Amino acid sequence: DEYKSAMSFEWPWQYNFPPFFTLQPNVDTRQKQLAAWCSLVLSFCRHRKLYTLDVLEAQESPVFNNKKIERKLSVEAIQVVFEELRKKGNLEWLDKSKSRCLIMWRRPEEW
């Protein structure tokens, strides 16, 4: 079930670091933070075999919501992470309002 699957997934150290869930104002720090988020989202989706994501649903999924440390990434921050993934070629929006997206664990050119 979902819980077991979430447990067997190997979370990066950042996942238990509270500042990971606040978008950092320092440009350099934010860059490193976003890189870690991108790699986490991709490996999580690969682990769960997820191909599409809904922004609002995603916020409740364990990847963006760490119940152990009671931290949740805001919808705005999730949008920023997704936008970063799109720039890297790992994500495509399915609608104009950017509420649903396709997630590609590997970029098209890697296939």
Contact residues for other proteins, defined by CB under 8 A: 13-14, 17-19, 21-22, 24-26, 28-29, 32-33, 36, 70-71
The least distance separating other proteins from the CB of residue 74, rounded to whole angstroms, comes to 9
Nearer to other proteins, 2 or 27 (CB): 27
Q: List the Cα angle 32/38/39 in 5-degree steps.
A: 95
In angstroms, the Cα distances linking 105 to 31, 47, 89 are: 20, 10, 10
Nearer to other proteins, 63 or 103 (CB): 63
Nearer to other proteins, 26 or 97 (CB): 26
The least distance separating other proteins from the CB of residue 75, rounded to whole angstroms, comes to 15
Nearer to other proteins, 69 or 94 (CB): 69
Return the number of other C-beta atoms located less than 10 Å from residue 73's C-beta. 21
